[in-house]
Chains A and B, each alone.
Chain A
Amino acid sequence: MNVIEVKELRKEFKSYSSRSGLSGAFRDLFTRNYKVLRAVDDISLQVKQGEMVGYIGENGAGKSTTIKMLTGILTPTGGEVRVNGMNPHKEREKFVQTIGVVFGQRSQLWWDIAVQESFRLLKKVYRVSDEDYETHMKEVIETLEIEPLLDKPVRKLSLGQRMRCELAAALIHNPPLLFLDEPTIGLDVLVKMKIREFLKKINQKYKTTILLTTHDLADIEALCDRVVLLDEGKIIYDGRLDQLQKNWVEGKEVRFEFQHPVELGSLEMVSSQFDVKWRQGERSHQWIAMVDGDDDTVSKLMSQVMLNHSITDVKINHVSTEEIIRNIYEEGMSHG
C-alpha cells in the first residue's frame, strides 16, 4: 500500500524584487516587479508503508516546501497529493490526526510551560485514551530518556533535550506516518545516535513510515534504505542508497600524507598509467586519489606512488556518500 502518492506536484511562489533608488522605491509603492519561482517542479513520488526515505538536497532545493505540501500546510499550485489516502489540504483536520511532524528549526511545544503540560494538551488534542497514552508514551519517554525533563519548562531545555521532547510530542498519537524536517540539526553525536536508534525502533515495532530530510548524510546512512535526491525542485535520483554508491563509484579513495609538500604535476606523472584523479587534501602534504579500478589497481598505484615519494600515512576509503552527493551536485547526474 502506498502511504504517500504524489503525481506531478508543483509549487510556485511569487518572488518580489525591489527597484533600486528612491524613484524605484516610489514606483514599488504602486506596482511591484515579481518573478514566479518554481520551488517544486513536477515531482512524482510513491512511498510504501514502513519505508524510511531520506529526502535530501541542497538548501533551497525544495525539500521543506514538499514536506509542507505533504503535511497540508501549503496548497500545491498543481498536481495531485494523496497521503494516508487523503488529500492533506482539503481534509486537514482529519488528515493531521494520522501524521506526526517534527520541524528541527521550530518548536511545537509550548515555550513557557512544563513539557508534561504540553504532552497533556497534545494528548487531548489528538484524543488519545489514557491506556494508549500510558503504554505507548511510557516506552517513548523511557527510550528517549526524557523522564527527568518532563517538569521543566521548554525554554530551560538544551537543544538536544528539547529535540528529544519534540520527537516524543510528535509521537503521542502513535501516527503511522512521520515527517522529520532536519530533526538532528545542531545536535551532538550522542543525541543524534539516540534519536537514530529510537527511529529505527519505532519503525520496526509499529511499521511507521518515515520521511526524513537532513543535511547530515550519516543520518541517512544509518536509517534509510532509500534516498530521494532533489535539485532545483526536481527529483534527480530516487532509489536505494547502496545503488547510488555502486553506480557512482567503482573505485576507491586513497588518502596519502606525504613527508614533504608534493606538486600535482609530479603525482600525475608517477600515476599516468592509472585511471586516477588527484585532489588536494586539507593540507599541502595531503593528496587524495580517486582510483577507478579493482583492488589490484589500487595496490599497484600505491606502490608506484610510495616508490617516488616518502609518506607518513596512507588510508584507503570507500568513497563517502557525502562525496558522491557533492559530485552529483557539481557534475550533474549524467555519470550514473
Chain B
Amino acid sequence: MGNFSVYVEMIRIRFLMMLAYRTNYYSGILIYSINIGAYYFLWQAIYGSQESIEGMSVTQMTTYIAVAWMARAFYFNNIDREIAQEIQEGKVAIEMIRPYNYLGIKTMQGLGEGLFRLLFFSVPGMVIIGLAFPIDFSNSITVWLLFIVSIIFSFIVNTQLNLLTGILTFFLLYNTGLIRGKRVVIDLFSGLLLPISFYPMWAQDIMGFLPFQAISYIPSMIFTEGFTGAEIYSALGIQLFWCFFLIIPIQLLWVIAKRQLIVQGG
C-alpha cells in the first residue's frame, strides 16, 4: 500500500476501458432511463389521487426513484464478477506477482468505473430526467454535501460486499448463482426498488441488522429530505459502522483464500 499514484493510475485505466466499450455505456443509459420511467409511472398509478403514502409525497417518491437509480450508477460495479472470472480463469496468478494489494486495486477499479458513470452518465442523466419528470432537487448545500458523503459510504459498503462475493469464488470455484442472487438481494433490500419504510414492520426490523440499507436507502432518503436532523447523522453512523465492520470478514477470507489458492488451468 502507500503507493497512491498506482491507484490513481488504476482509475485512469478503468476510464480508458469503459471508453473502449462504448456500446455498453450507451445501452446502460437506455436501461437506466427505462427503469426510472417505468418506476415513475408505476408509482403514479399506485399513488392515484392519494397525497402521500407512508409520509412520502408523490414528488418525493419520484425524486427518490430517480436519485436511487442515479446513485446506483455510481456505487454499482462489476468487480465481484471480475474477481470470480479472474479466479476461474487462473488470471489471479498474474495479480499475485504484482507488488500491490489485489483487493485495493480491485476497489480502485470499481471506483474508476463508478466515477466514470457518475460524470458521464448520472450527472447528464439527472439533468434530462429533471426536465422530463417533476423532481424536487434540494437547494440546501448541506443536503447535497451529506448526500455526497452518503453515496461514498454506499460505494464502500457495496464494493465490500462485492469483494466478499468475489473472494468466495476461491472456495466455491463457480459462483455465478451466488453473484446473481446477491444482486437481487441488494436491489430488493437496499431500498432501490422500494423504500425500506414501505416494508412491513417485521421485515424492517430484520433489515435493520443487514448492511443492504446502507447502500441505497440511506443516501436516497437524505437526498429527498426524508431524513432530517439527527436521523441523518444516525443513518450516516450506520453506514460508517458497516464500512468498518465488513473489513473483518473480507480480511479473514482473503488470508485463508491466499493460503489455499489453487490456480486453475496449470
Contact = CB atoms under 8 A, between A and B. Distances in A.
A124 B260 CA distance: 29
Interface stretch (B4-12, B222-230, B240-248): B4-12
A125 B99 CA distance: 7
Interface residues of A, number: 31
Interface in A128-157: 153
Interface residues of B, number: 29
A96 B97 contact: yes
A13 B262 contact: yes
Given A72-B96, A106-B94, A121-B9, A127 B261 contact: no
Contacts of A108: 94, 97
A106 B90 contact: yes
A120 B9 CA distance: 9
A71 B97 contact: yes
Contacts of B17: 110, 112-113
Contacts of B90: 106
B263 interface: yes
Contacts of A127: 3
Interface string B55-91: 0000000000000000000000000000000000111
Contacts of B13: 110, 113, 117, 121
Contacts of B93: 68, 73, 103, 106
Contact of B20 (A64, A105, A112, A121): A112
A113 B16 contact: yes
A169 to B, nearest CB: 10
Contact of B21 (A99, A101, A112): A112
B263 A121 contact: no
Most buried by A among B90, B97, B101, B263: B97
Interface string A109-126: 010110001001100111
Interface string B1-32: 00101100110010011001100000000000
A94 interface: yes
B266 interface: yes
Nearest to A59: B266
Contacts of A74: 261, 263
Interface string B234-264: 0000000000000000000000001111110
Most buried by B among A72, A73, A110: A73
Given A113-B13, A113-B17, A121-B10, A106 B91 contact: yes
A120 B12 CA distance: 11
A72 B17 CA distance: 29
A22 B20 CA distance: 47
24 contacts: A13-B262, A68-B93, A71-B96, A71-B97, A73-B93, A75-B258, A75-B261, A96-B98, A99-B97, A101-B97, A105-B265, A106-B91, A108-B97, A110-B13, A112-B16, A112-B20, A113-B16, A113-B17, A124-B6, A125-B6, A125-B99, A125-B100, A126-B99, A153-B20
Interface of A: 13, 64, 68, 71-75, 92-94, 96-97, 99, 101, 103, 105-108, 110, 112-113, 117, 120-121, 124-127, 153
List the 3 closest A-B pairs by CB distance, nearest first. A112-B20, A124-B9, A73-B96
Given A64-B266, A75-B259, A124-B3, 8 more contacts: A72-B96, A73-B93, A99-B97, A103-B94, A106-B89, A106-B91, A125-B3, A125-B9
Interface of B: 3, 5-6, 9-10, 13, 16-17, 20-21, 89-91, 93-94, 96-101, 258-263, 265-266
